[in-house]
Amino acid sequence: MTGKRGNENKKLKQIASYLHLCELEKREAEQIVKAYPEIGINEAYLIQKELVKIKLSQGNKIIGYKLAFTTRTKQRSMGISTVGFGYLFDYMKIDDGGELNLNDVIHPKAEAEIAFIIGEDLFGDVSPYEVIEATKFVAPAIEFVDSRYKDFKFELVDVISDNFSASRFVIGSDIRKPSEVDLRLSGVIFERNGVPEKTGALGAVLGHPAIAVSQLVKFLSKRGEKVKAGSVILTGSITEAINVVEGDFIKVIICGVGEVSVFVVRK
């Protein structure tokens, strides 16, 4: 039994190393489910955990989390009923008004989001209200998801293993206390080069983004982890993602909160 378990752990570590190298070398990966159809969701999160260990061993620091599948439509399409989550590292952060260098990524897509900056530790069976109480402030955000998989095609096991396509993100310098924002009805405009590409409302995220954060806290608590004070949480895409190309100027405007922007370059 020990030998079988050891071989299984070795396989999961090899997959994590493969995905890590694909990210570093900016090359597309083959889907995990095609090579290892026996791997399930639990094993996929173990691969993600190994991937996190690799990044930590190389000096990267965890600064927060990203949520995925935070709309009912996306959950139905993936056959799940809860959010997914990945880890955010310090090397992924871009300053507001800064640049996304396409030479650092594979095939990124931009998402409009609202970020929660947590003011105190969260653990256990917390409610959305408790999340709001513990949140220091919220800010507009842009996430660049960059699935390592060829042609951005993946299944649930693939995307969990790949840290939910976490790549780069921008947090706006415009911040507000949660009590100052209608976190359900505030409108969102997603612009490219001054032209609105998508529009939506914060309630697209499970009816209220604090619900998604509470699910994250509960999930992590079952693993013996807590959301630490100071953590950045990207609460999930409010609209459909958009492809980006060199020369794009991407901006997200959230009513009652402010805006965040980034230039897309190649250098």
* pLDDT value, residue 1: 43
- The whole model's pTM is what? 0.94
Task: Give per-residue pLDDT as tens, 230-266.
Answer: 999 999 999 989 999 999 999 999 999 999 999 999 9
Cα dihedral sign, 56-44-152-209: negative
- What is the pLDDT tens value at each position of the chain, 267 positions in all? 456 677 889 999 999 999 999 999 999 999 999 999 999 999 999 999 999 999 999 999 999 999 998 877 767 766 777 788 999 999 999 999 999 999 999 999 999 999 999 999 999 999 999 999 999 999 999 999 999 999 999 999 999 999 999 999 999 999 999 999 999 999 999 999 999 999 999 999 999 999 999 999 999 999 999 999 999 999 999 998 999 999 999 999 999 999 999 999 999
* pLDDT value, residue 115: 98
* pLDDT value, residue 164: 96
Residue type, 247: G
Give the span between the Cα atoms of 258 and 196, in whole angstroms: 16
Give kind and range of the element (H or E) at residue 72: helix 72-78
What are the structural domains of the chain?
Answer: 2-265 (3.90.850.10)
Q: Write the CA distances from 156 to 39, 45, 51, 76, 194, integer angstroms.
A: 11, 11, 17, 12, 34
* pLDDT value, residue 71: 78
